C-alpha cells in the first residue's frame, strides 16, 4: 500500500510517517 497519492491516503503526516517507518522496517536494509 505504498506509492499512493496523499489525496487517496490519510492527510495526517503522523500516520504517513508511521506507515513509512513500517515499510522501511519491513524492507531489508540497503
Which grid cell is 4? 499512493
pLDDT tens sequence for the chain (30 residues): 566 555 555 567 777 888 888 887 777 665
Q: What is the pLDDT of residue 29?
A: 65
Residues 6+ apart with CB under 8 A from 10: 16
Going along the chain, which residue ranges are E strands? none
Alpha helices in the chain (DSSP H): 13-26
pLDDT value for 24? 78
Cβ(23)–Cβ(2) below 8 Å: yes
What's the pLDDT score for residue 22?
84
Give the model's pLDDT for residue 5. 59
Question: Which pTM does this prediction carry?
Answer: 0.40
In this structure, what are the phi and psi dihedrals at residue 10, rounded to the nearest 5 degrees? -85, 145
Amino acid at each position: 500500500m505504498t506509492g499512493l497519492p496523499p489525496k487517496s491516503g490519510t492527510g495526517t503526516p503522523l500516520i504517513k510517517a508511521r506507515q513509512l517507518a513500517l515499510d522501511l522496517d519491513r524492507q531489508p536494509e540497503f
